[in-house]
């Protein structure tokens, strides 16, 4: 992101104010690190190009924190980093729609919030539909289910891009960092898909032991779609409002995920725990992830032999 700001941000866009917007900011603290890095990269560029500090030239920074209306904005604002050099505003509302006036911000970011769909696709939750999906997600065996999710994701993401194109100043930048799939790799072949299958299997175990109702398990689907690289490129290109300046795979020194059953269970609890708690309650969610850890231990060779997934950073500039 720093490199993209250094090479792609046009300082002419900034007169006395630079505004950063984080879409799907949650309640912290990741968002504070993300926006601080962006602001520091802008300050560095400003210093390198003008020989002056942005602050000395009366440039002020503002951060707009967006998330759903149900997000814990109180925690977010109560834990803002002391000594920060930016003003803040909360922007509650769904990023599938416009949430800001035209030309409100210069740099926008979606960190791990670009995988959401606005709803579960039609047919997925209806027992008599050919698209009925008992699993909690499309892990890749059923092409028709995958297509239903992809169609929903494409339509929703087109709306996300249309709304941001209105809200972003011309020439502004949009960063998308998230999780996806390499072309041709099925979700079920990756660590992410295998872990999601373990979550589904653990829910079924609890239903078989009478702890939860099987209908409740069958009606659980998650509003996420992890797109393949070519699908992401196609959606952005067909939308037409942005130029893809960079599409990079983020390579972590220790691999995509630490290959340890306990750490994997804790990590996936942090990704999916809130969605499970909302549908089944916290107690069931906790039991599920205890079982997930056992399954990850028992079937560790599946995890070790999984195909790599994709963690990406996409840099877009508004046309």
Distance CA 87, CA 75 (A): 17
Q: Is 94 among the residues that bind ligand SAM (CB under 6 A)?
A: yes
Q: Is 25 among the residues that bind ligand SAM (CB under 6 A)?
A: yes
Number of residues that bind ligand SAM (CB under 6 A): 16
In the complex, what is the shortest distance from the CB of residue 67 to ligand SAM, in angstroms, rounded to a whole number?
4
Cross-strand partners of 179: 311
CA dihedral 63, 38, 178, 204 (to 10 degrees): -50
Residue nearer to ligand SAM on the CB measure, 30 or 50: 30
Q: Is 293 among the residues that bind ligand SAM (CB under 6 A)?
A: no
Q: Which of 7, 30, 78, 230 binds ligand SAM (CB under 6 A)?
A: 30
Residue 178 contacts residue 112 (beta carbons within 8 Å): yes
First-residue to last-residue Cα distance in the chain: 19
Region binding ligand SAM by CB under 6 A among candidate stretches 22-30, 75-83, 211-219, 260-268: 22-30
In this structure, are strands 60-67 and 86-92 parallel, antiparallel, or unpaired?
A: parallel
Region binding ligand SAM by CB under 6 A among candidate stretches 23-31, 189-197, 283-291, 301-309: 23-31
Cross-strand partners of 65: 22, 90
Peptide bond into 240 cis (omega under 30): no
Residue nearer to ligand SAM on the CB measure, 9 or 26: 26
3-class DSSP state of 26: coil
Distance CA 284, CA 279 (A): 9
Site for ligand SAM in 218-257 (CB under 6 A): none
Structure tokens at 248: 């990079």
- Determine the length of the chain: 319
| 51 backbone φψ class: left, alpha, beta (φ>0; ψ -120 to 50) | left
In the complex, what is the shortest distance from the CB of residue 152 to ligand SAM, in angstroms, rounded to a whole number?
13
Binding mask 189-208 for ligand SAM (x = CB under 6 A): --------------------
Q: Is 32 among the residues that bind ligand SAM (CB under 6 A)?
A: no
Residue nearer to ligand SAM on the CB measure, 112 or 247: 112
Q: Which helix (H) or strand (E) holds 82?
A: none
In the complex, what is the shortest distance from the CB of residue 64 to ligand SAM, in angstroms, rounded to a whole number?
12
In the complex, what is the shortest distance from the CB of residue 82 to ligand SAM, in angstroms, rounded to a whole number?
20
Q: Is 179 among the residues that bind ligand SAM (CB under 6 A)?
A: no
Q: Is 113 among the residues that bind ligand SAM (CB under 6 A)?
A: yes
Q: Is 112 among the residues that bind ligand SAM (CB under 6 A)?
A: yes
Number of H helices, E strands in the chain: 10, 7
Q: Which of 62, 71, 89, 267 binds ligand SAM (CB under 6 A)?
A: 71
Q: Which of 26, 165, 203, 217 binds ligand SAM (CB under 6 A)?
A: 26
Distance CA 58, CA 50 (A): 13
Residue 177 contacts residue 249 (beta carbons within 8 Å): no
Sheet holding 86-92, edge to edge: 86-92, 60-67, 17-23, 105-111, 168-180, 310-318, 242-249
Region binding ligand SAM by CB under 6 A among candidate stretches 94-102, 226-234, 244-252, 307-315: 94-102
Distance CA 186, CA 158 (A): 23
Q: Is 136 among the residues that bind ligand SAM (CB under 6 A)?
A: no
Q: Which of 111, 152, 154, 157 binds ligand SAM (CB under 6 A)?
A: 111
In the complex, what is the shortest distance from the CB of residue 26 to ligand SAM, in angstroms, rounded to a whole number?
4
Footprint of ligand SAM on this chain (CB under 6 A)?
24-26, 30-31, 66-68, 71, 94-96, 111-113, 116
């Amino acid at each position: 992101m720093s490199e993209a700001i250094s090479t792609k941000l046009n300082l002419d866009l900034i007169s006395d104010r630079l505004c950063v917007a984080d879409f799907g900011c949650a309640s912290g603290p990741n968002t504070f690190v993300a926006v601080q890095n962006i602001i520091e990269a802008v300050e560095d560029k400003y210093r390198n190009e003008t020989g002056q500090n942005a602050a000395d030239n009366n440039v002020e920074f503002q951060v707009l924190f967006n998330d759903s209306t149900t997000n814990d904005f109180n925690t977010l604002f109560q834990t803002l980093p002391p000594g920060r050099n930016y003003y803040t505003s909360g922007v509650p509302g769904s990023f599938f729609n416009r949430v800001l006036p035209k030309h409100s911000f210069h740099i926008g970011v979606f960190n791990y919030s670009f995988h959401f769909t606005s709803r579960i696709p039609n047919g997925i939750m209806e027992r008599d539909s050919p698209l009925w999906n008992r699993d909690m997600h499309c892990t890749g065996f059923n092409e028709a289910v995958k297509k239903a999710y992809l169609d929903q994701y494409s339509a929703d993401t087109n709306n996300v891009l249309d709304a941001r194109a209105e809200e972003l100043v011309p020439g502004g930048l949009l960063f998308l960092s998230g999780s996806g799939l390499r072309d041709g790799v099925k979700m079920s072949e990756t660590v992410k898909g295998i872990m999601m299958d373990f979550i589904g299997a653990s829910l079924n175990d609890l239903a078989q032991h009478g702890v939860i109702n099987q209908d409740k398990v069958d009606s659980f689907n998650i509003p996420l779609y992890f797109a393949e690289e070519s699908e992401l490129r196609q959606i952005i290109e067909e939308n037409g409002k942005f130029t893809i300046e960079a599409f990079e795979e983020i390579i972590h020194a220790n691999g995509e995920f630490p290959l340890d059953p306990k750490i994997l269970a804790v990590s996936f609890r942090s990704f999916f725990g809130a969605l499970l708690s909302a549908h089944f309650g916290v107690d069931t969610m906790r039991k599920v992830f205890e079982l997930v850890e056992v399954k990850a231990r028992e079937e560790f060779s599946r995890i070790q032999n999984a195909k790599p997934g994709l963690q990406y950073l996409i840099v877009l500039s508004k046309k």
